[in-house]
Structure 1
Amino acid sequence: MENNLVQPLIAAIISAAIAARSYRKKSLDFSGAISGFAVMTIHIAVNYRFGAVLLVFFFTSSMFTKFGEDKKQKVDADFKEGGQRNWIQVIYNSGIGTILVLTVWTVAGSEDYCLNSKESSLLTFLIGGIIGQYCCCNGDTWSSELGILSDDQPRLITTFKPVRKGTNGGVTKAGLVAAAAGGSVIGVTFVALGFVTTNCSSDIALKQLLLIPISALSGLCGSVIDSLLGATLQYSGFCSVRNKVVGKPGPTVKRISGLSILDNNGVNLVSVLLTTVLTSFACSYIF
């Protein structure tokens, strides 16, 4: 019984420390810190690799969010110091992954597995979905946070016409490369730890390396889906008073693109869901 409690206890201690630090550093507001603590605890308690993937996403995204804050403040109408995220953003960026993590726990407990459809197609599908969730979120965040700092002229993904920085659906070459890099980091983390935590045959273990290019594609795919949704279902307009691109129409706002159907959280949720499903099927087919 004591052994069964060790991992959840470690998970709670690590999560509490990270949540408290993130609140002090303004990466999370109070509601974000509480929800972040719960999400982190679940991931780490179920499987250390799941926890590592979540933490790599959180720390790298928070780090890049803080890059070039002075420049971003001049462009981003919703700029917050430190990129402070609330509970809604935490849930939208990790809710699907958390559900999948809990599902894996009900199926296999905390035992670690290699991706191998011949041994368990369900676990391979579920774990592929978890990877897809965080490849999408990490890729999209890296793309947004680093792309906006690029000197490249953003182009609307649906028309390829030049648009102002901060326009939903605007993409740059630097942003697309960053999205693939953000996804690949998730894959590298999961695969590298797997060599230590799993006990698979040499051929199956070697095959896990294919997850890295899959993760890079998932990060890129998630970012592209996010941009397509942002360009079509999310409103972008230029406010002549604030001199910034904004997400809501108004008397001083000239429309650039999109419809007021989804907000940023809605776009994130749909892109995560689609990328999760696509990555699950890709892993099931390849592994």
Structure 2
Amino acid sequence: MEKTMIQPLIAMFLSSMIAFRAYRKKSLNISGAFCGFFVMSIHLAVNYRFGAMLLVFFFTSSKFTKHGEERKRKIDPDFKEGGQRNWIQVLFNSGVATLLVLVTFKTSGLQDQCLDSKESKLMTLLIGGVIGHYCCCNGDTWSSELGVLSDEQPRLITTFKPVRRGTNGGVTRAGLLAAAAAGVVIGLTFVLLGFFTTKCTTSNMAIKQLIVIPLSAVAGVVGSLIDSLLGATLQFSGFCSVRNKVVGKPGPTVKKISGLSILDNNAVNLVSVFLAAVLTSMACLYIF
């Protein structure tokens, strides 16, 4: 059976198993599981490295989301056991990358390629965009889920003043380190699988692919900072005296902390990943 048939079949089988498991583990609700199935199928069917980056983001983020649930329950007003992401959250965290993956398929089919602008500037931009996308997603999630558990006092990124845990735009050193580590994991996944799935035109270019790892660390941090900056300025944060929690909507019992009610959390994620994808793709075009 041809590769064009085998790879999509494998992709659909793996995606169905993972989506079902995620639903059982309450990482995704029913709509999130269906959306996740289609997104994972597309990634894995086009390129195993794309699929691997998506799965690393999904599994590690789900793990850290569940870490320290009791403490997060007291902080997060919209806390859901296990995370239980719905289709909107899945789409906003993977939609940009999915479009890039589809354009990659239209451009080169199922053929995996190295980052090499001399070989193809378009493919370098597209692959760099997917890397940047998942570095941002992973970096933002790791920094949020682990940073909120830190004993360090968060500081608002725009003023550096101390704020309550759970405030949009609040950053900690632990959170930034987590974002860098999250980016490194994505970069390592891309590079290590590349040894088995692709062959660069020269040995020098093959070695140069290792630059993706530190670049991914930077992309993870930059993506997290962009998310924090948008959260501090265009996303409302206030303290509710009744619920005794930081909330994301104004109200009669809510005292404003920061931000405007322009973007919600999903919109902030979408804008962040888009900007991170653009910046990383341009960096890849310049470096490679």
Fold-level similarity (TM above 0.5):
yes
Paired AA for residue 158 in structure 1:
T
Q: Percent identity?
A: 73
CA drift of 1:2 comes to: 4.1
- The alignment yields a C-alpha RMSD, in angstroms, of 0.7
Aligned length: 287
Q: What is the CA distance between 1:3 and its match in structure 2? A: 3.5
Matches within 5 A, 1:117-132: 117-132=117-132
- What is the aligned partner in structure 2 of residue 241 from structure 1? 242
Correspondence list, 1:175-214, <5 A: 175-200=175-200, 201-214=202-215
What is the Cα deviation at residue 198 of structure 1? 1.1
Q: Which digits, 9 at most, give the CA deviation of each residue in 1:76-108, with x for residues without a partner?
A: 111100011000000000000000000000000
Q: Which residue of 2 aligns with 1:80?
A: 80
Match of 2:284 in 1: 283
SS at match of 1:256: strand
Superposed CA deviations along residues 28-74 of structure 1, whole A, max 9, x for unmatched, are 00000000000000000001111001000000000000000000000
Give distance in 2, aligned partners of 1:3 and 1:64: 35
Map Cα deviations across residues 215-253 of structure 1 (whole Å, 9 max, x no partner): 111000000000000000000000000000000000110
- Answering whether residue 147 of structure 2 is matched by residue 151 of structure 1, we say no
Report 1:101-116 matches (<5 A). Answer: 101-116=101-116
- Secondary structure at the aligned position of 2:82 is classed as helix
1:256 and 2:257 correspond = yes
Q: Deviations over 1:166-207 (max 9, x none)?
A: 000000000000011111110000000001111122111100
Aligned partner of 2:71: which letter?
A: K
Query: 1:48 corresponds to which letter in structure 2?
Result: Y
Task: Confirm or deny: 8 A CA contact 2:104 2:126 kept in the other structure.
Answer: yes
Task: Give the TM-score of the pair, scaled to structure 1.
Answer: 0.99
1:283 Cα offset (Å): 0.2
* 8 Å CA contact 2:4, 2:110 repeated in 1: no
* Aligned-pair CA distance for 1:4: 1.9
Q: Structure 1 stretches of 5 or more lacking a match?
A: none
Looking at structure 2, the residues matched to 192 and 23 of structure 1 have their Cα atoms a distance apart, in angstroms, of 29
C-alpha distance in structure 1 between counterparts of 2:92 and 2:173, whole Å: 26
Distance in 2, Cα, partners of 1:212 & 1:175: 19
| C-alpha separation in 2, matches of 1:4 and 1:257 | 51
| Distance (whole Å) between structure 2 residues aligned to residue 269 and residue 51 of structure 1 | 19
**SS in structure 2 opposite 1:82?**
coil
Residue 111 of structure 2 aligns to a residue in which SS?
coil
